[in-house]
Structure 1
Amino acid sequence: MNYHEISHFSHQHKLKYEYTEFPFKCDGCKEVGIGSLFKCSTCDYDLHTHCALPSTSICHLFYTKCSFQFLPRPPGNTPRYCNACEKDVTGFVYHCNSCGFDLHPCCAKLPMMLDDGEVKLYLYRKVSAPCHRCGRKGRSWSYRSSCKKYNLHVACVKEMLVESWHGYLWRGNSRKLETRIPSLKYTLQTYPHKSKGKKVQKCCEMAGLAVQFIISAVLGDPTTLIAGVIGMLMSK
């Protein structure tokens, strides 16, 4: 079913479905988003689609013994973090009462596979190969290509975005960021290549496309590539 206008427990006005190529801060989970959202034009109140239309409870393949319940705020009084991306949980959350695990709504709904016909990326709870961003193994959930050449932590993707947007100012109450998604040039680790020329160029293009897909998923819109904004990540 398609929802174009909804009522939400967290807000007094109705929210309308919109699509934006500008980053926004979700007023539900407090995480950054882009693409599809539900918005109140009166108050400029924004929600990821995952936060606007949450499931009451979910299960996850990585935690087969857990049952995650949707909560409007983190339980208890101690700081909590998302088990997928390792970032703080400060708003809407999926929480498992029995084990104490927490997931941001967008992290909970990350696709197990991203596929554009050329690149297939699979979500893993832990990967033994080093991340192309931080060079470390393990850590948070990771997306890894089927060819096993590209591996990127979900946590590192979020750090890339935070670093790129650092210093961007909110303009008064309009809450519009100064610019669109910034360039992510030089954000990936550079590894020596045995091949040269076109093979290296193709490798960089594929790595850039992989990052593009992962960013789209992490920001809450895995079904749509924000091609005009985060395309050509590695080429300029």
Structure 2
Amino acid sequence: MTRNSSMKSQTSLTMKRSSSMVEFPTSPQPAVGEQITHYAHSQHPLMELTLPELFTCSGCKEFGAGKRFACQQCDFQLHEFCAVSPPLLKNHPLHGQHQLVFHSKPRPAKGGISWPRCDVCGKSTKGFTFRCRACSFQMHPCCAMLSTEINFPIHPHPLKLLPAFNTSSGANMGVNCGECNKRRSGRMYRCTVCEYHLHAVCAKPLINGLGPNGIPTPEKPSALGTAARLASQVVIEFIGGLIEGFGEGMGEVIVQSIARGRCISRRRIRE
């Protein structure tokens, strides 16, 4: 079965809604365990598998668990919704004013450092995305599966998606999420009965398989933290070179002075 041709032949699409997610109107689904050929990995067929282990999708670059399409010869794996994403979405509940086009490659990072962000979850877009040609809106395939109203397992009431202008104005940043207890950017759901709030990014484990498989979403290190660690390593190596040049006695004095400076700085921060 070749998925590439059947996917690209579809142009007029209507979204179907369930209680918690949107169903992609894709071409007929492959039978369980069937192999498909995907244009993003044409050298090997992909087998439909269901495994409880965590994986990183080779398409959208986000985490997943459970059902997937995986290559049996290498480490290429796709979320099910990434593997069957249609080329075009019309009347999507999260961006109904314009049609959305599927892109296999992300927009380039600004200055090679800062990746563009999804307008739904607020996370970086580093792979497959749906983008609007009329405006700058874009979202992950996983976010495209979210509906305007969801049922979250640990909360007894339905949750409705707040308007997008709350995100752009920063209003959501002042509300704590009932799941992660943090304040962050991105769309947010609110309970229709009480004041419970949920980030869209915290609702994504319902879609990507992490929630049903009991896997907490891993926290990726920030770019700033990574840069700080690299800078520290460069400084350490530089000091190592100075120690070799000055001799052990002088080197120990330099290291001890730096250590005392760090301790004083930490005490000041705590005070």
Q: Normalising by structure 2, what TM-score?
A: 0.54
2-side partners of 1:145 and 1:19: how far apart?
Answer: 32
Greater RCO (CA < 8 Å, at least 6 residues apart): 1
Q: Is 1:141 aligned with 2:198?
A: no
Per-residue deviation, 1:140: 1.2
Cα offset for 1:120? 2.3
Match for 2:146 among 86, 97, 110? Answer: 110
* Unaligned 5+ runs, structure 2: 1-27, 217-271
Provide structure 1 residue ranges, at least 5 long, that are not aligned to the other structure.
158-213, 232-236
**Is the CA contact (8 Å cut-off) linking 1:111 and 1:217 kept in structure 2?**
no
Aligned to 2:214, the other structure's residue is in SS state helix
- Which of the pair is proportionally richer in helix? 2
Q: Deviations over 1:109-166 (max 9, x none)?
A: 21333336954233334566723245548x31123333233211124x3xxxxxxxxx
Conserved in 1, the CA contact under 8 Å of 2:93 and 2:147? no
1:152 and 2:183 equivalent? no
Which of 87, 93, 109 is the aligned partner of 2:129? 93
Matched, 1:13 2:58: no
For residues 147 and 123 of structure 1, what CA distance do their matches in structure 2 show? 13
Which residue matches 1:32? Answer: 63
Alignment partner, residue 190 of structure 1: none
Choose 1 or 2 for highest CA Rg: 2
Which residue of the partner structure matches residue 238 of structure 2? none
Q: Which residue of 2 aligns with 1:217?
A: 206
The Cα offsets for residues 52-99 of structure 1, whole Å up to 9 and x where unpaired, read as 000111132232322210011024564321111111111111111220
Q: Is the contact made by 2:142 and 2:204 (CA closer than 8 Å) also made in structure 1?
A: no
Query: Is 94-103 or 125-134 further displaced after alignment?
Result: 125-134
Match of 2:99 in 1: 67
Aligned Cα RMSD in Å? Answer: 2.8
**In 2, Cα distance between the equivalents of 1:101 and 1:140?**
13
TM-score of the two chains, using structure 1 as the length reference: 0.61
- Taking the aligned partners of 1:35 and 1:112, their CA distance within structure 2 comes to 24
Deviations 1:162-218 (A, max 9, x none): xxxxxxxxxxxxxxxxxxxxxxxxxxxxxxxxxxxxxxxxxxxxxxxxxxxx25335
Please identify which structure carries the higher strand content: 1
Q: For 1:104 and 1:67, how far apart are their aligned partners in 2? A: 15
Deviation at 1:48, TM superposition (A): 0.8
